[in-house]
Amino acid sequence: MFIKGEDYNFLTYNIFIILYVLGCVDGKSSLKDHRKLSFLIDFVSDDKLIDVIENSFENDNQQINEIDRELLNQSFTNSLLRIKTINQLVFTLTNENYLILTDKKLEKLNISLNKKNVSSDFLRGKLFDIERNNAKRLKSIIQRISIIDIKNMLDQLYFKHGVLNEQLIN
């Protein structure tokens, strides 16, 4: 038994897939602000969250129903609780040469996947088709997701859908 949001293997493979699908590889392009990973992991690992956001965008950002709002609220809360774990994991994966640190500004790290140290079978294999497809869907819904700042990303994923901004991320 494990807690999905705290399992390092679960978090690691999702980080690799997110960076790979977003094109943040080999230092050529990077994910601006590693803290975004904590929030993106929920969307990549749960297609229901992608459906909520996708439906909202297709319906001209109309108000979402209470059940969907609660699903987003739970995701937001879980993601906030996961940020410290993601910080630790990013430093560990950087020290192990799986991630490349491209820029460091206070608590905001820009990172990319060191593709040569991750098996192409892992990145392209069938085992993670669902996560890759979810990441592709999210990338098509939220334009420039790898480079927008965390506030804009959170606004598009949560706040404009009624999730309260109780814990502002700077």
Task: State what percent of residues in the chain have pLDDT above 70.
Answer: 91
The pLDDT score that the predictor gives to residue 61 is 61
Helix (H, G, I), strand (E, B), or coil: what is residue 149?
A: coil
Question: pLDDT digit string (tens) for 49-63?
Answer: 999 998 887 777 667
146 inside domain: yes
Both tokens of 38, joined, read 């904590």
Q: Name the one residue in this structure whose structure tokens are 């108000």.
A: 63
Structure token pair of residue 9: 């293997």
Mean pLDDT value across residues 56-85:
88
Strand-pairing partners, residue 109, are 104
Q: Is residue 24 one of the residues assigned to a domain?
A: yes
Number of domains in the chain: 1
Domain that holds residue 8: 4-161
In a domain, 53, yes or no: yes
Please report whether residue 167 resides in a domain: no
pLDDT of amino acid 112: 97
The answer, yes or no, to whether residue 167 has pLDDT greater than 70, is no
Determine, yes or no, domain membership for 129: yes
CA 127 to chain CA centroid, Å, is 19
Is residue 166 assigned to a domain? no
Least confidently predicted of 4-18, 23-37, 145-159: 4-18
70 is a domain residue? yes
pLDDT of residue 170: 46
Residue 170 included in any domain: no
